[in-house]
Structure 1
Amino acid sequence: MTIWSVVNDDTGEKRGRELFARIALLSVLALVVASLGLALTPGSPPEPAAPPFSEQARAAALTDAMRLRAAGAELGRSAGGTGQPAVARTVSLLTSQARALLLPGDLLPGEMVPGQSAPASFASPVPATPSSTPSPAAPPAASLPATAASSAPALATELASSASQRLADAAVADGGMARLLASVGTAQLLQASSLAAATGAPAPPPADPPGPRPSGACTGKPASPSSSGPSDGEASLPGALAATVRREHETVYGYQVALTRLSGTAATLASELLARHEALATGAESLSRVHCAPVPPREAGYTMAPAFLASPAAGLGGLEASTLTVYGDLVALSEGETRRWAIAGLVSAARRSALWGSGTGALPGLAADPAGFPGLPSPGVTPSPGG
């Protein structure tokens, strides 16, 4: 091989190595630039998670209460005559319920005006505890028509529709929220009937929840008598069932005593309701067995207050009203068929209380002081985070 050919080969090989090094360097630089670009480019924000069913149900209940409240207030200003006191009572009821449903985080632009649909910001961003029960499709922000009620009978019909939705949502919501929704729906149902009766209109279609027949047998280890009522103050399903059984036993005894002092239509009504309470006591005992909870024994008798003996009709009203919180507790601490049975029991207890002239308040079955509820904003005023 000649000298020039060797030199030529060495030069070409050197140039090839230099070219390869440049290409490699450029590739590395390109990767660095690309990675920096990706790091500096903001990614798409993740879609916000849908609120839990219980929170959506609360927001829908608040929306309906505010809309019906505004419709009732407008109806009270524009009409006169028959039914106006009942309309005013309806507005007062819805005001208390809206305050109970309101959370500090709710964005309320003020009172809704009749004919106005609920704004998108009406739902609260505050989450609720996830439910262990599979949730159905979440309720819409406003489950009723956006048009205002044109008359007291129309308002009664829409109020009954709202009550039906609240009771349906209560069957699957989280425990505490289920109790609140059942309480709201029960009071709305009674007020719808009262409003229709005050205006001479036919009663709205019944929205009472179905009362399933408790069935089944204990499939686990039966609880000991000491576990039927929690000793540390913590509420439990066995404790709520035991309280329901005891209260129904006492109520049955009260009706038996009252029947010896009543006559006429009051005695007929008391006899019918006595049979109903005997069936409720049997149902509560059956549910206790299904849940492996001990059944409290029937007492030989109960001490009745002198006022009860002097005025048995009023005493039965107070006795019925005392069962509301018991059924409210059972709604909160149960689920499935047991909760549906408890909701039906709450509604029927409120109806029986009203039959005897005992008031049930804006939230039957819920022990709460309305004075502690947050106030509603004035029109055009947005509430502060503190309520």
Structure 2
Amino acid sequence: MKDDTQEAGHRGRYFRYAVFTLAALLVVSLGFVLIPREPAAPAPPPFSEQARAAAFSDAVDLRAAGSDLEGRAGGTLPAADSVEVSAAVSRAVTLLTVHARALMLPADPSLSTPALAPSSAPAPRPSTPADLAAALHSSGVQRLNDAETTDGGMARLLAGAGIAQLLAAGELAAAAGVEVDAPVSTPLPSGAPTPPTGCTATATAGSAGTGSSGSGSTGADLASSFSAVLEAEQELVYAYQAALNRLNPATVAPASGFLAEHEDLRREAAAMGVAHCAAMRPTPAGYALDEAFLADPARALGSLEAGTLPAYGDLIALSDGADRAWALSALQSAVRRTTHWGGSPGPVPGAVLDESRLPLLPESAQAPGPAATRAAQS
């Protein structure tokens, strides 16, 4: 016969265990509810924004270094060299000021971008003209690399800034008596990219916007952009053919080489335009040559070369992949020819900037150098 008292004791212990277990589960569950969940890590910014912020940061830092150097750049050099180096540093500071203003977001003119801070330690600030030339060259190469994959108009802005910084690096290095790589090192395209069979879809004008750069698209799509490049190349082929008999004999050889480049570019642009369903106009029988061209064909060629830069800038903004690589290379070559003839490619080759509409740098970006205040308003 079972002991009722013992059985009741067992049931009591089971009941207490159940109550304690339920209470423990309740406490644990309440703890999970009351303890705030760790916030999710913010999504990384788009690559184009990272590239813009890095370019802006580099421009500000290099500008500050140049401002520090200005006025003492040639302190240990002969007087003539000192003047030349100081002038090259001053021009670099002015250029970097424009770049920083073009790359700065007008809605938030802050120099603090913690979400975009580089993971590596910052490079030491350049302390000599040679150091500044090397840093400018490195920055220019990085801008061009980023331009290969950034979005639309930002690619054009980065490409133009990179090319201009490479040119400034070469000028400063020559003045300081040091060597850096060639200012424009990307060779001419060896041939147009092989397009897919039949017409391809074209980009829309909306993909070419740049935000604060002031260098938005002219409204062209990719097909009409190729048409514009082709028309520019056709005119330059004619101009070089007409100039060969009028140029100084010492300049005929480079002009002949440039003519061959334009003939290649014209042929490649035509093939790529057809692949993108561009409406190609018939090649004109000729172009009018004004008095300025007849009086100074070398200077006129420089102006004509400079006139092609916005067309290539649009093509960079509207294209991608192999088309953009071709356009980037062609823009660099066009800048090289422009400067050969003494033309000005502008502070951002390929982009038409209205500097009066660019945001001014905040006071925190003003370096203590003698050119800081003057350059910030340039």
Could you state the TM-score of these two structures normalised by the residue count of structure 2? 0.79
Query: How far apart in 1 are the matches of 2:200 and 2:16?
Result: 81
**Aligned partner letter, 1:91:** V
- Deviations 1:21-58, CA, capped at 9 Å, x for gaps: 66655554443333222111012222222222222222
The alpha-carbon deviation at position 251 of structure 1 amounts to 1.4
Residue 25 of structure 2 is aligned to residue 31 of structure 1? yes
**Aligned partner letter, 2:92:** T
**Aligned partner letter, 2:235:** E
Change (3 A) 1:175 1:211: farther
Does structure 2 retain, via aligned residues, the 8 Å contact 1:53–1:173?
A: yes
Query: How far apart in 2 are the matches of 1:21 and 1:229?
Result: 74
Residue 36 of structure 2 is aligned to residue 59 of structure 1? no
The alpha-carbon deviation at position 336 of structure 1 amounts to 1.5
Identity %: 45
- Which residue is 1:111 aligned to? none
Residue 256 of structure 2 is aligned to residue 278 of structure 1? no
- Which residue is 1:148 aligned to? 126
Does structure 1 retain, via aligned residues, the 8 Å contact 2:169–2:183?
A: no
The alpha-carbon deviation at position 154 of structure 1 amounts to 3.2
Which of 284, 295, 299 aligns to 1:299? It is 284
Does structure 2 retain, via aligned residues, the 8 Å contact 1:208–1:344?
A: no
- Which residue is 1:320 aligned to? 305
The alpha-carbon deviation at position 259 of structure 1 amounts to 2.7
Query: How far apart in 1 are the matches of 2:38 and 2:182?
Result: 49
- Secondary structure of the corresponding residue to residue 71 of structure 2: helix
Query: How far apart in 2 are the matches of 1:197 and 1:337?
Result: 34
Change (3 A) 1:295 1:142: farther
- Deviations 1:287-322, CA, capped at 9 Å, x for gaps: 224445454432222233443333322221111111
Does structure 1 retain, via aligned residues, the 8 Å contact 2:72–2:86?
A: no
- Which residue is 1:112 aligned to? none
- Secondary structure of the corresponding residue to residue 323 of structure 1: helix
Query: How far apart in 2 are the matches of 1:229 and 1:311?
Result: 40
The aligned runs of 1:173-192 (5 Å cut-off) are: 173-192=150-169
Change (3 A) 1:375 1:172: same
The alpha-carbon deviation at position 162 of structure 1 amounts to 1.4
Does structure 2 retain, via aligned residues, the 8 Å contact 1:346–1:365?
A: yes
Change (3 A) 1:221 1:66: closer
Gaps of 5+ in 1: 109-120, 126-138, 382-387
RMSD across aligned C-alpha pairs, in angstroms?
A: 3.2
Residue 82 of structure 2 is aligned to residue 105 of structure 1? no
The aligned runs of 1:58-97 (5 Å cut-off) are: 58-80=52-74, 81=82, 82-97=84-99
- Deviations 1:207-232, CA, capped at 9 Å, x for gaps: 52344422424324478xxx8998xx
- Larger RCO of the pair (alpha carbons < 8 Å, separation 6+): 2
Which of 179, 182, 192 aligns to 1:214? It is 192
- Secondary structure of the corresponding residue to residue 306 of structure 2: helix
- Name the larger-Rg structure: 1
Query: How far apart in 2 are the matches of 1:142 and 1:316?
Result: 45
The alpha-carbon deviation at position 351 of structure 1 amounts to 1.6
Query: How far apart in 2 are the matches of 1:180 and 1:229?
Result: 18
Query: How far apart in 1 are the matches of 2:109 and 2:39?
Result: 24
Query: How far apart in 2 are the matches of 1:220 and 1:105?
Result: 45
Which of 44, 55, 58 aligns to 2:38? It is 44
The aligned runs of 1:312-351 (5 Å cut-off) are: 312-351=297-336
Query: How many residues of Structure 1 are paired with residues of Structure 2 in the alignment?
Result: 344
- Runs (4+) of structure 1 exceeding 6 A deviation are 11-22, 141-144, 227-230
Mean alpha-carbon deviation: is it higher for 211-220 or for 80-89? 211-220
